[in-house]
Structure 1
Amino acid sequence: MKTALVTGSAGFIGYFLCRRLLDEGFRVIGVDALSDYYDVALKQRREAMLKESPHYRCVHDKVETPGLLMGLFAEETPEVVIHLAGQAGVRHSLEDPRSYLESNIIGTFELLEAARAHPPRHLLIASTSSAYGANDVMPYVETDRADHQISFYAATKKSTEAMAHSYAHLYGLPVTMFRFFTVYGPWGRPDMALFKFTKAILNGDPIDVYNYGDMKRDFTYVVDLVEGIRLLMDAIPERPANREVPEGDSLSPVAPWRVVNLGNSDCVQLVDFIKAIEAATGCRAKQNLMPMQAGDVPATWANADLLKTLTGYRPKTRVTEGVKAFVAWYRDYYKV
């Protein structure tokens, strides 16, 4: 039985990934601190469903805890490691930047040190579309320079990309970085727009719409995202001979390291996203139009050609379908 170690296992994406791996016959070691950044009960419910499998082991601790991951790598010798743990949220990084330093940067350092001592076949690490920062040429392509992050959250994630590259170069660790694009779906995070909008609309409360509604996002359905991760697990990067990198590939010329966009390749206007929620709930939204928040960007849009080249797969769920699935879950979970 193959062993996978997943950090952030009780999180939104972590839960879906662990469930997918368990269904496929993996033994899964899940690490999650069950932090109170959002409703802990939601994380506990996700984890409880994972624990129904005899092949799931959960470890409750912070990834930045010195020696924690080193011990787990030594004990479990996972073949594949997917690092999803970290402090999320652009806006929260303005209020509590130290938590991002500790979880995202120090936590990733602990992971890399453990992987150096006990190398898995493939190490996969979550980054973010926010790493593209002030880039205004879209859709975003992995080979574009990404030097001007505009939130501390994005800066910490871009830092982990550079850290992982150095370990890949120095120690031959095969590393794939993911840049996620606005992931949504059932069991989603309460701090994300879809959750907050659905809750407010069903309660008859107004929703805060930033940049006066002039926002675009590449909304990526969580099941599609997990499918992309699973397929990339088998697309292990190799250090190129003579620094020759195929055209369009983000593979490093000096390391078995690459970065891959995981997005729907569809730039959706926020007003259309809200209309999809209204259609799914059967309620009209009361909109409180507001200026852009600091650290946010007006648009994201992924070029997913590299994912297609590496795996033959491209995310395909339409926003209307994904929103409908989320609203159905929300009504059932909260009995509204």
Structure 2
Amino acid sequence: MIILVTGSAGFIGCETTIQLLKRGDTVIGIDNVNDYYDTQLKRDRLKRLEDYPDYHHYEFCLSDYSKLDTVFKRHAPQRAIHLAAQAGVRHSITNPQAYVVSNLSGFLNILECCRHHQTEHLVYASSSSVYGANTAQPFSTHHSANHPVSLYAATKKSNELMAHSYSHLYNIPTTGLRFFTVYGPWGRPDMAPMIFARKISAGEPIDVFNYGNHRRDFTYIDDIVEGVIRSCDKIAQPNPLWNSDAPDPSSSTAPYRIYNIGCNKPVELMRFIELIEQELGIKAQKNLLPMQQGDVPDTYADVSELIDEVGYQPSIDIETGVANFIAWYKNYYP
């Protein structure tokens, strides 16, 4: 197939692109390579794609509808995997406008292009952060997610609502994936695994928020990519059992689906730090601090429907995942 992947220089986007290319798909990648974090890391990810003749790269912001429409006209992608976004919960508190441009305007342009170019299926990145103030665990897509505690989360929930409107109005199949904490080789330097590895290696203290009482559904990158591609292959269908008197937020009479994509095994933050210490052979100095603004204490994904309906099965345990991550880290940052 010809598949459009936005955010192809990103952590999940690059790995997804590689796996699609390996199985024989043609991939049209778009990324603006912004400076939210180290652009050299993004460039190095893109270098990994240079050996694939079926990869075609474009560099621009998705808020530019004209350029996006030109790409759709030129390549006519059958499927689209939208992973580009302005990421970061904390950053959304200090730079809210960036999230409106990228996460709302950019996503609208993706929907419009899918509409006008008869794209068969749109898979897009949502986030576990949409659960916000909801404390019922494990998080289920059947639960309400109407109380986001950061603007980032609000934009991701908005994406889900925008997708539903297009699925309803124009019969565009859309699947939203609520990612839970993704980690592994080539990860984002603004996320805790990379921050911990860098500071522990340098002998600097690490900030441990909520006094270390967090639990996170850490999910290894390979498992995430498997779930993304399986979801792309299974085109969203209307739910014939959907009841408007008791509406299920995860499906609809339109071809619209929402899934959690996580490991389904939350890990204590202190255990995660312990594994990093073990692989680095260095003991961490810890600054125990209260909860950060916009954060939640625990994340725990119910992924039963992704398993049942898509065939997703996370397989990388936390010990193996951290060992792989630190091995890459030592090689990339010698």
Interval of TM-score (by shorter of Structure 1 and Structure 2):
over 0.9
Q: Which amino acid aligns with 1:267?
A: P
The separation in 2 between residues aligned to 1:243 and 1:36, in whole angstroms, is 43
User: Could you tell me the percent identity over the aligned residues?
Assistant: 47
The 8 Å contact of residues 6 and 29 in structure 2, kept in 1 or not, is answered as yes
Instruction: Verify the 8 A CA contact 1:232 1:310 in the aligned structure 2.
Output: no
1:181 paired with 2:171, answer no
Alpha-carbon shift at residue 211 of structure 1 (Å)? 0.8
Q: Structure 2: how far apart are the matches of 1:240 and 1:324?
A: 41
Shift of 1:243: 4.1
Match of 1:265 in 2: 264
- Match of residue 166 from structure 1: 165
1:253 Cα deviation from its structure 2 partner: 2.7
**Residue in 2 that maps onto 1:149:** 148
Distance 1:297 1:108 in 2: 25
Q: Which residue of 1 aligns with 2:107?
A: 108
Q: Residues 13-28 of structure 1 correspond to what in structure 2 (within 5 A)? A: 13-28=12-27
Please report the RMSD computed on the Cα atoms of aligned residues, expressed in angstroms: 1.6
**One-letter identity of the residue aligned with 1:102:** V
Indicate the residue corresponding to 1:301 in structure 2: 300
8 Å contact 1:237–1:251 — kept in the other structure?
Answer: no
Structure 1 position 304, deviation (Å): 0.6
1:90–1:153 CA contact under 8 A, matched in 2:
yes
After superposing on structure 2, the runs of 4+ consecutive aligned residues of structure 1 that deviate more than 6 Å are none
Correspondence for 1:61: 60
Between the two proteins, the alignment pairs up a number of residues equal to 333
Q: Does 1:291 align with 2:290?
A: yes
Aligned match of 1:226: 225
Unpaired stretches in structure 1, ≥5 consecutive residues? none
Contact kept? 2:149, 2:295, Cα under 8 Å: yes
Contact 1:90–1:152, Cα closer than 8 Å, also in 2: yes
| Alpha-carbon distance in 2 for matches of 1:17, 1:305 | 22
* TM-score of the superposed pair, with normalisation by structure 1: 0.96
Name the SS for the 1:127 alignment partner.
strand
Distance 1:267 1:67, change over 3 A: same
Which ranges of structure 2 fall in alignment gaps of 5 or more residues? none
Match of 1:129 in 2: 128
C-alpha separation in 2, matches of 1:250 and 1:275: 38
- Alignment-derived partner of residue 190 in structure 1: 189
Residue pair 2:134, 2:145 contacting (<8 A) in 1 also: yes
The residue type paired with residue 12 of structure 1 is F
Does residue 1:276 correspond to 2:282, yes or no?
no
Q: Distance in 2 between matches of 1:6 and 1:241?
A: 30
TM-score by length of 2: 0.97
Alignment check: 8 A CA contact 2:115 2:170 kept: yes
SS in 2 for 1:91: helix
Residue matched to 1:97: 96
User: Does the CA contact (< 8 Å) of 2:92 and 2:151 recur in 1?
Assistant: yes
In structure 2, C-alpha distance between the alignment counterparts of 1:185 and 1:242, rounded to whole Å: 38
